[in-house]
Amino acid sequence: MTESQNSRTLSNSSDVVVLGAGPAGLVLGILLHTAGIDSVILERASRSHVQTRARAGFLAPNTVRILERHGLADGLHRHGSRHGTCEFRTEDGRLRLDYGALGPGEPHHVYPQQKLVTDLLAHYLDLGGRIHFGTEALVVQDADGARPSVTTREPDGSPARWTARYVAGCDGRYGAARRSLPPGAVRHHHDHGVTWLGLLAESPPSLDAVGYAIHDHGFAGHMARTADVTRYYLQWQRGTPADAWPEQRIWDELDVRMRAEDHGPLRRGRLLERGVFDLTCDVIEPLRHGSLFLAGDAASLLAPAAAKGANLAVLEAELLAEALTDALARGDTAGLDGYSDRCLAHIWRAQEFTGWMTRLLHAVPGPEQDAGSFFHAALQRSRLASLRTSRIHQDWFAENYVGV
Ligand code: RFL
């Protein structure tokens, strides 16, 4: 199918309309198609945009198992790598945790999200799945009725209407699904009070571990992506634009916070991407509104401190695919009835650990002499001391770090 194919030459009706072709929408689309459920994916962006958007990289063991179960893990096994060590750098030295050998004894797989999305998309198209790029969902209507619909802006700018039995909102935090929620839906929102500058550097990883630096200047992070590309993070003054510092200053500051003088230099390279984001999170409750179901970032947004978002997206997509298949192929709606509660249990667990991780990595910002700042910095040191000395705490960390 080409991007320019006019949607109106195809039927605008299907059993399931899936909004969004991120990890959630694509896994859902593939599983529905494989189960013989008539479905279509509507994606606002172009195919090339979807395939090049660099975001996540750390896939949890359970995510890999889901992808393997459905024959979707070939690319990540061929080109990804296993990763099971993290290194905290503080004024007290280094703390290395081989988390892949602690707790459940399972590492992450590192595979850039855009490569996973590229694999999923190719698989979906090979199966004959229907997808419409450049098609923006504007609103979901009649989710309370038997035949909900989605109003879209088509690639040529004209409006269209898609009808379905169910609508799966996998269109992220700013998508139409969230905009279409009824007044009864609750959005629980939390601001961790921290901002990050996220960087993608054209340079090989500088350490053989996920690096978490805790420093008076603020947090710095290092995460491998591929042999030639590494993600870095700098805790950042809220409101400061991403381009406020020249590259040289960014690398110098990363050196300071990562304590390059003590632990070895960072391998510098051109900065391919910069983005500023506040560490905020939210949860929509419930995740079902009549015939509209939310999955992935549309359901819940997590701060990236613990790398959970893409993993939850894949898990929820599998749960939703099973539930929709049971309902449409067998008339059994128990899975759909339980979908929201099942997902929310995972989501709140991930939110709790992400919050813990965020507090571990950052002292709450504030004036230097502020008593609250001292208190939070002391708690942060105590948390790290416990992680350094308690095997039980290390096992707990490993279980939560790789789990969803
Ligand atoms: P996505 O990936 O945002 O895909 C949603 C899709 O919907 C489309 N869309 C629409 N389509 C039609 N109509 C509309 N009105 C639409 N509005 C939007 C969009 O174009 C898009 O294609 O959501 P999904 O599938 O729920 O997947 C979620 C993940 O992308 C996200 O949680 C992760 O990237 C979060 N995350 C990480 N998660 C991990 O598990 N491990 C990591 O290592 C990790 N690192 C990260 C991250 C997120 C980051 N950002 C974005 C802050 C690192 C970063 C920097």
What are the pLDDT digits (tens) for 203-221? 999 999 999 999 989 999 9
| Confidence label for 175 from pLDDT (cuts 50, 70 and 90) | very high
Ligand 1 centroid from CA 373, angstroms: 33
Has residue 120 got a pLDDT over 70?
Answer: yes
pLDDT one-digit tens code per residue, 182-209? 988 999 999 999 999 999 999 999 999 9
pLDDT one-digit tens code per residue, 252-305? 999 999 999 999 999 999 999 999 999 999 999 999 999 999 999 999 999 988
- Residue 403: CB within 6 Å of ligand 1? no
Catalytic residue among 112, 192, 304, 339: 304
pLDDT of residue 231: 95
Residue 111 known to be catalytic: no
pLDDT one-digit tens code per residue, 58-77? 999 999 999 999 999 999 99
Ligand 1 centroid from CA 17, angstroms: 18
- Residue 288: CB within 6 Å of ligand 1? no
Q: Are 257 and 219 in contact (CB under 8 A)?
A: yes
Q: What is the CATH number of domain 2-81+112-189+281-355?
A: 3.50.50.60
Mean pLDDT of the chain: 93
- Burial code of 35-56, b = ≥16 C-beta within 10 A, e = fewer? eebebbbbbbbebeebbeebbb
pLDDT one-digit tens code per residue, 306-347? 889 999 999 999 999 999 999 999 999 999 999 999 999 999
| Nearest-CA residue for atom 6 of ligand 1 | 20
pLDDT of residue 388: 94
- Taking alpha carbons only, the member of 220, 191, 223 closest to residue 207 is 223
Residue whose token pair is 């999305």: 117
- Burial code of 380-399, b = ≥16 C-beta within 10 A, e = fewer? beebbeebeeeeeebebbbb
| Confidence label for 370 from pLDDT (cuts 50, 70 and 90) | low
Catalytic residue among 83, 108, 289, 346: 83
The Cα-based distances of 105 to 60, 98, 102, 185, 353 in angstroms read 12, 9, 5, 39, 18
pLDDT one-digit tens code per residue, 38-53? 999 999 999 999 999 9
DSSP string of 252-268, one letter each residue: HHHHHHTTHHHH-----
The Cα-based distances of 14 to 5, 189, 289, 305, 316 in angstroms read 18, 34, 19, 38, 21
Distance CA 64, CA 61 (A): 5
Number of CB atoms found within 10 A of residue 254's CB: 23
1-15, 95-109, 244-258, 334-348: which has the minimum mean pLDDT? Answer: 1-15
- Residue 95: CB within 6 Å of ligand 1? no
Task: Indicate the pTM of the whole model.
Answer: 0.93
Distance CA 2, CA 227 (A): 32
- Residue 56: CB within 6 Å of ligand 1? yes
Edge-first strand listing for the sheet containing 149-153? 136-141, 149-153, 159-163
Residue 115 known to be catalytic: no
- Residue 360: CB within 6 Å of ligand 1? no
Q: Are 177 and 164 in contact (CB under 8 A)?
A: no
Residue 212 known to be catalytic: yes
Provide the pairing of β-strand 39-42 with 130-132: parallel
pLDDT of residue 145: 86
Q: What percent of the chain has pLDDT over 70?
A: 95
Which of 113, 132, 152, 315 to probe ligand 1 with, by most ligand atoms within 8 A of CB?
113
pLDDT of residue 69: 98
pLDDT of residue 11: 56
**Which atom of ligand 1 approaches the CA of 309 most closely?**
32
- pLDDT (average), residues 120-147: 96
Ligand 1 centroid from CA 141, angstroms: 24
Residue 182 known to be catalytic: no
| Confidence label for 1 from pLDDT (cuts 50, 70 and 90) | very low
**By three-state DSSP, how is residue 336 classified?**
helix
* Angle in degrees, CA 390, 396, 401, rounded to 5: 125
In the chain, what are the domain boundaries? 2-81+112-189+281-355
Edge-first strand listing for the sheet containing 86-90? 93-97, 86-90, 210-213, 220-224, 230-235, 186-202, 270-285, 300-301
pLDDT of residue 364: 62
Residue 131 β-bridge partners: 41
